[in-house]
Structure 1
Amino acid sequence: MIHITPGLLLISDPFLKDANFSRSVVLICDHQSEGSFGFVLNKLYEHKLSDMLKTFDDIDFPLFYGGPVQTNTIHFLHKRPDLIEGGNKIIENIYWGGDFDEVAILIKENKISKSDIRFFIGYSGWGEGQLKDELRTKSWITRNANSSLVFNSSVDDIWGSALKDLGGEYAQMANYPLDPQLN
């Protein structure tokens, strides 16, 4: 049985049919008996951060689709606890949240770059026992996260890289077509 903890990566099975999570990699940020939540790492949102928040109107940072829950909220992951106060440590070099206003100032002062932080609209959430059920039915492949994968600038490569790093049959899965019937 897989132990669900912050820092666990969920890599969607190549044939997962849920449009929200097809070929997705999700970082688990919190897990309690009541449920779990995290962020999809490899789905760019249709708008940039500056389109959504006036505070960031002159900042050209991408916005990622964190998941289908509360898509009226914006969250961020970062690796700069030395500059951003109030963040929650997920694992070494990965923090969730912090002082949002301070982040805007730090970005405008060029003290934080795109490689240090990632913004998400919405999040991915599972109710009590739901994620365990999905793991049991093998909807997800799991591995531990690291900051180089979480903050990978090549968004399209995150899913494949996460699988290839596992080697063996998982490395082969990275090359599966979206629709095997078209192969």
Structure 2
Amino acid sequence: MLNNIKPKTGRILISEPFMADPNFKRSVVLLTQHDEEGSVGYILNQVGNLILSDVIQDLWEGNNHIYFGGPVATDTLHFIHRCYDKLQSGEPIGNGLFWGGNFETLKILINTNAISEDEIKFFMGYSGWDDGQLAKELEQNSWMVSDVSDPDIIFNVDDEKLWRDVIVNLGPKYAHISNFPSDPNLN
């Protein structure tokens, strides 16, 4: 394992710089579930081409971009938010962040502009690992694990900068990784 922090709900996974799987190239994944059954998370830095109103017809104020959450169930919509005070629903994942919630209430809040884009992030699909699968990938140094130092990073919209920022936040031992080119042949 590249670092000694263990995965758990509310932590992030940071892909190693040259990960071969194109779904996870230079990705930052927020874990929303990590237990004996496996792990679930969402890729925070792969914005898609759709906005929310493209997917949900009765959202006339749905201008939020939809991110690629991962390669599992790519026809499903999920969300992470930090507005429990408004939505009054969602599973707590730490740092004032919540996973999911009452979608009918959410639609009303979006259509009345009661929720801003920096309070919620939407995903098509999710990232999932069976029991033991993520542990194996960590042993192969495919991922680094980190706490969420600042919940604002979850709602960052600069995809490439997010990966670099979380690498730098791991400390001086890892900061040089943030400067690696995305294609090792360019070295």
Question: Which bin holds the TM-score, normalised by the shorter protein?
Answer: over 0.9
TM-score, normalised via structure 2 length:
0.93
Deviation at 1:41, TM superposition (A): 0.3
CA contact (8 A) 1:64 1:121 kept: yes
Aligned partners of 2:61 and 2:110 also within 8 Å: no
Work out which of the residue numbers 63, 66, 87 in structure 2 matches 1:63. 66
The superposition leaves residues 48-85 of structure 1 with CA deviations (integer Å, 9 ceiling, x where unpaired) of 11111113244211000000000111010000110112
* Structure number with higher helix proportion: 2
Q: Deviations over 1:72-109 (max 9, x none)?
A: 11010000110112200000211001111111111221
Structure-2 residue corresponding to 1:88: 91
What's the counterpart of residue 142 of structure 1?
145
User: How many residues end up aligned between the 2 structures?
Assistant: 183
Report percent identity of matched pairs.
41
Which is further off, 137-146 or 123-132? 137-146
Look up the SS of the partner of 1:7 in the other structure.
Answer: coil
Partner of 1:19: 22
- Flag as ranges the 4+ runs of structure 1 deviating above 4 A: none
Deviations 1:103-153 (A, max 9, x none): 111122121100000000000000110000001111001101241111123
Judged with a 3 Å threshold, the aligned counterparts in structure 2 of structure 1 residues 76 and 179 are, in CA distance, closer, same or farther, namely same
2:156 corresponds to: 152
The 10-residue stretch of structure 1 (159-168 or 52-61) with the greater mean CA deviation from structure 2: 52-61
Compare 91-100 and 151-160 and name the one that shifted more: 151-160
Paired position in structure 2 for 1:43: 46
Matched, 1:5 2:8: yes
Q: Any unmatched runs of 5+ in structure 2?
A: none
Which residue in the other structure is 2:170 paired with? 166
The equivalent of 1:176 in structure 2 is: 180
Is the 1:164–1:174 contact (alpha carbons within 8 Å) kept by the matching residues of 2?
yes
CA RMSD of superposed structures (Å)? 1.3
1:4 and 1:182 map into 2 onto residues whose CA distance is: 32
Contact 2:6 2:145 (8 Å CA) reproduced: no
1:170 Cα deviation (Å)? 1.6
Give yes or no for the alignment of 1:132 onto 2:140: no
Q: Secondary structure at the match of 2:144?
A: strand
